[in-house]
Amino acid sequence: MAKRWEDVEELMDEMVRVDCPPNIATFNTLIAYLCRNGLYEQVHETLSQMPEHGCTPDLRMYATIIDGICKDGHHEVANDILSRMPSYGLKPNVVCYNTVLKGLCSAERWEEAEDLLAEMFQKDCPLDDVTFNILVDFFCQNGLVDRVIELLEQMLEYGCIPDVITYTTVINGFCKEGLIDEAVMLLKNMSTCGCKPNTISYTIVLKGLCRAERWVDAEELISHMIQQGCLPNPVTFNTLINFLCKKGLVEQAIELLKQMLVNGCSPDLISYSTVIDGLGKAGKTEEALELLNVMINKGITPNTIIYSSMASALSREGSTDKVIQMFDSIQDATVRSDAVLYNAVISSLCKRWETDRAIDFFAYMVSSGCMPNESTYTILIRGLASEGLVREAQDLLSELCSRRYRQMLVGGGDYCGGITRMDLPT
């Protein structure tokens, strides 16, 4: 629609001509679209057109604008608009506050978030369950789990009801901090608050138990969840398969892959991907290739991740030709090669002392629009150096350094479309 803005303007003129003038709903639709796409010049323009149609921005429109601005990361502007709303005769509601609160939390600007909460109390704007969920998520994302139980209690005191996602967020926060026993306890206690854990809640705790290598507890929990009528889903299985593979227990992972079908789950792309990678890392490249074929025969199309696992496995066993063959075979397919895949190819060439070809590949990578990452440079620099091409290695190293410097410079921008100059009609 961005390109057809003239059409929109023309359509609005026509609406007036046929005596069906745009109303507040028309403008809200437009503003929502423009905000979603960061087209603040047009937001400004549209707002200035509203008075001639007898329309005034309402609470909902402000909420939309504030949301768009927050999602673009311009919290000061959002906060500024929020504070100017009363002068336009509008009292910000809980939706407006929550939107800005979420923006401040995402930007980890906790002090300002606290100020905003204080303002909500002071301006007599009651918090709701969304407010609490934003805070719970923020605490969990930032490892502040020691404060989160208290927050849940405050939430209940306030008359807001945590739901299964609220509890699962907290459980996940505990697991991420290694507090597995706390996670298990909450999983068991949430039912007493009238909220039953679901498959996702159990899967998260299972992952935590696996990470802590508490296999017996994990098995018990699986039985427990099934007893409770919560069936494992593909993600549950994939989580377990992943841990088995990481521990080198690929045979057991394959067993679990078969068990999925018995339990009414079909192994998906990620199930196969995990086991294929596990087989490759265990040096069972032939078996990995066979499983890849099984997967393809089941109608599942391999993606870049699977190919890069395969390429790494082939590269590891020194089958450089097979790596290149595979790479060539997917060039006309829909899979888009990424840096990890290119790195596997480049690395296998370096292994065979073919740094010339590796450099050619590097050039092809860049010309195909794939951005090299640090590993790409590391692989090449090592390859060049081990062939005694010190000068070339040094050049590449300085290129890497200047790239890092450029990346440091990017992202310092402070531009915010036309919204800073926005002169909202009243």
Residues near DNA (CB under 7 A) are 24-25, 28-29, 32, 58-61, 63-64, 67, 93-96, 98-99, 102, 128-131, 133-134, 137, 162-166, 168-169, 172, 198-201, 203-204, 207, 233-236, 238-239, 242, 268-271, 273-274, 277, 303-306, 308-309, 312, 338, 340-341
Least distance (Å) from DNA to the CB of residue 365?
13
Question: Minimum CB separation from DNA for residue 112, in Å?
Answer: 17
Residue pair 320/326 in contact (Cβ under 8 Å)? The answer is no
Q: Which backbone phi and psi does 125 adopt, to 5 degrees? A: -110, 105
Nearest residue (CB) to DNA, 120 versus 384: 120
Nearest CB to DNA, comparing residues 239 and 348: 239
Q: Minimum distance between the CB of residue 266 and DNA, rounded to whole angstroms?
A: 12
Q: Evaluate whether 214 touches 180 at the Cβ level (below 8 Å).
A: yes
Closer by beta carbon to DNA, 63 or else 81: 63
- Compute the least distance from the CB of residue 131 to DNA, in Å: 7
Report the alpha-carbon distance of residue 275 to residue 306 in Å, rounded. Answer: 10
Structure tokens at 151: 């927050």
Task: Choose between 386 and 425: whose C-beta lies nearer to DNA.
Answer: 425
Give me the long-range contacts of 169-174 (CB less than 8 A, separation at least 24): 169/133, 169/136, 169/137, 169/140, 170/136, 170/140, 170/145, 171/197, 171/201, 171/204, 171/205, 172/140, 172/204, 173/139, 173/140, 173/141, 173/143, 173/145, 173/148, 174/145, 174/208
Residue with smaller CB distance to DNA, 255 or 356: 255
Min. distance of Cβ 387 from DNA in angstroms? 26
Name the minimum Å distance from CB 308 to DNA: 3
In angstroms, rounded to a whole number, what is the distance separating the alpha carbons of residues 39 and 72? 11
Cβ proximity to DNA: between 235 and 294 the closer is: 235
